[in-house]
Structure 1
Amino acid sequence: MGHGIDRKSSRRKSPQTAAKPKLSRQEYEAKMAELHVELVKLQFWAKHEGARIIVIFEGRDAAGKGGVIKRITERVSPRVFRVVALPAPSERERTQIYFQRYFEHFPAAGEVVIFDRSWYNRAGVEKVMGFCTDDQYQRFLRLCPAWEKDIIDSGVTLIKYWFEVSKEEQTRRFSERIIDGRKTWKLSPMDMESHRRWYDYSRARDAMFAATDTNSSPWHVVEGDDKRRARLNCIAHFLSLIPYEEIALPQVELPARQKAGGYKEPDYPFRWIPARY
């Protein structure tokens, strides 16, 4: 089986980012603005070409997946870029074919679907926490590459990202979630278990890569200790994988407003909100 990444580099910081100085907020925002412009171009191209794109975000808990997804989607249309973050399967869904509940969220023409966690739950949390049988787990690893190849052969662009973070940085981020009132909602019992079971998750990651990191559907690893660089690097890489072109748009001019035609503002007691700031 061919593999698309250096397995040694997936177990430590990327040598491309480990020694770089901190990126200033001003520089970060300027570079992000440039990437946002490109994402808008990609959006117009996807609609024009009827492209179907799936992007999977997986990785260590607190590795920064959510921040990248937020940055990808904050300047584009939610009708084109759809984020799918499925909860635990219902009793009914547990009786279905495993992949079934993911199919209904696949993109139609002109859509980019971002999976915040995906069918790879079976290779990660379900395996580690015992939420599936060993037979179910082994079947998933065996069938997943062929299933993904069929998706790709049907004309869908499938991109898979794995976010890696160091033990020390994960601990720092979890500790921050405990004390920061803005982030406490991010903390769950599963986060505590992922922190405790670091090496169980490492073994599950290694087995997942061995089975599903193929030439046709490779895993792209994002070094997540530096959040700003991780976001920029991931978005730039994502854009590099799509052969989009800038679509010529019609010139737009604001039309003159209509005449009042006798309209007068009503003497109505609008319920203005308090000006506290």
Structure 2
Amino acid sequence: MGKGKKHGSGGHKKLASGLEKLPKEAYEKELERLQADLVEMQAWLNRTGNRLVVVCEGRDAAGKGSAIKRVMQYLNPRSARVVALPAPSERNKTQWYFQRYIEHLPAAGEMVIFDRSWYNRAGVERVMRFCTTDEYRRFLHQAPIFERLLVEDGIMLRKYWFSVSDEEQERRFKSRAGDSMRRWKLSPMDLQSITRWEDYSRAKDEMFVHTDIPEARWYTVESEDKKRSRINMISHLLSTVPWEKLDPPEIEIPKRPAAMNYARPPRDEFKYVPDVASKLLGD
């Protein structure tokens, strides 16, 4: 048994918190089923013209990015997209705070996932003092009004908070730091989330008090086990959208016409990429 790993009934691995990790085979089977339902849900959105906004928030390394990736994996990008806005420009800072988010809201038949959203003001901007106290208080007052307006106009709004313990967050940070393929995910701002853990906790608690409204509830996703959190989040999303499976339109593949007088130019007239993949076949 590896260091620090415990096994419960059935030999399933457990995290340091005692939570049993979801077995890989069970996870992949259920994820495939849920992703098929997501494709059906998107078809329903397209056919009915409904609009869906999904807000994903949480601490750094809480797993929201990987959950979004699994949601989007098989969806048509023409009507489903992820919005992850950069830091506001000087021009953005002179606008009404919600203004730059409004232009990314969905049209009929579309789904938009915000990988961090207008709630930046209640989190990182508040903790890091990127906004004034007056701006912060104004946000807490206006956010519920803004969201009620979205819902009143017919937009379905789902808000998810990905929750992770301080121990697990630190473990994931260390894992990223030692992985050259994922080191880019660590920014100086991310690392400050360790030293400001309690500040972020207080900011999140106050945000929930003001913005967990009947029209747009916050749903917490326990994310100690990323596989488990992805299954739970996607399952919940599917259960709260009133979609139904529709009969797909019939697709008739036309017959290929007989060749006429076309002759393909000689291969040596084109430049091909080297077939390095053939080296993987061995001798």
- Larger mean Cα displacement after TM superposition, 258-267 or 47-56: 258-267
Deviation at 1:267, TM superposition (A): 1.3
Where 2:111 maps in the other structure, the secondary structure is strand
The residue number in structure 2 matching 1:240 is 239
> CA–CA distance in 2 between the matches of 1:138 and 1:255?
61
Deviation at 1:110, TM superposition (A): 0.5
Deviation at 1:260, TM superposition (A): 1.7
Deviation at 1:146, TM superposition (A): 1.5
The residue number in structure 1 matching 2:168 is 169
How many residues are aligned here?
A: 260
> CA–CA distance in 2 between the matches of 1:98 and 1:251?
46
1:267 aligned onto 2:239: no
The residue number in structure 1 matching 2:62 is 63
> CA–CA distance in 2 between the matches of 1:19 and 1:172?
15
The residue number in structure 2 matching 1:137 is 136
- 2:77 maps to a residue whose letter is P
> CA–CA distance in 2 between the matches of 1:210 and 1:159?
17
> CA–CA distance in 2 between the matches of 1:89 and 1:20?
39
The residue number in structure 2 matching 1:252 is 251
- Larger mean Cα displacement after TM superposition, 130-139 or 250-259: 250-259
The residue number in structure 1 matching 2:119 is 120
The alignment yields a C-alpha RMSD, in angstroms, of: 1.3
> CA–CA distance in 2 between the matches of 1:88 and 1:194?
17
Normalising by the residue count of structure 2, what TM-score does the alignment of the two structures yield? Answer: 0.89
> CA–CA distance in 2 between the matches of 1:162 and 1:250?
37
Higher relative CO (Cα under 8 Å, sequence separation at least 6) belongs to 1
1:52 aligned onto 2:51: yes
Deviation at 1:24, TM superposition (A): 2.4
> CA–CA distance in 2 between the matches of 1:228 and 1:153?
34
Deviation at 1:19, TM superposition (A): 5.8
Counterparts of residues 1-277 of structure 1 (less than 5 Å): 21-269=20-268, 270=270, 271-276=272-277, 277=280
Deviation at 1:20, TM superposition (A): 5.5
Where 1:91 maps in the other structure, the secondary structure is coil
> CA–CA distance in 2 between the matches of 1:273 and 1:158?
48
- 2:235 maps to a residue whose letter is A
- Higher Rg of the two aligned structures: 2
Deviation at 1:254, TM superposition (A): 2.8
Deviations 1:123-147 (A, max 9, x none): 0000000000001101111121111
Deviation at 1:28, TM superposition (A): 1.3
- 2:191 maps to a residue whose letter is M
Deviation at 1:27, TM superposition (A): 1.8
Deviations 1:52-82 (A, max 9, x none): 1110000111000000100000101111111
Deviations 1:111-132 (A, max 9, x none): 0010000000000000000000
> CA–CA distance in 2 between the matches of 1:181 and 1:87?
23
> CA–CA distance in 2 between the matches of 1:197 and 1:223?
21
Deviation at 1:265, TM superposition (A): 3.1
Where 2:126 maps in the other structure, the secondary structure is helix
Identity %: 52
> CA–CA distance in 2 between the matches of 1:164 and 1:36?
23
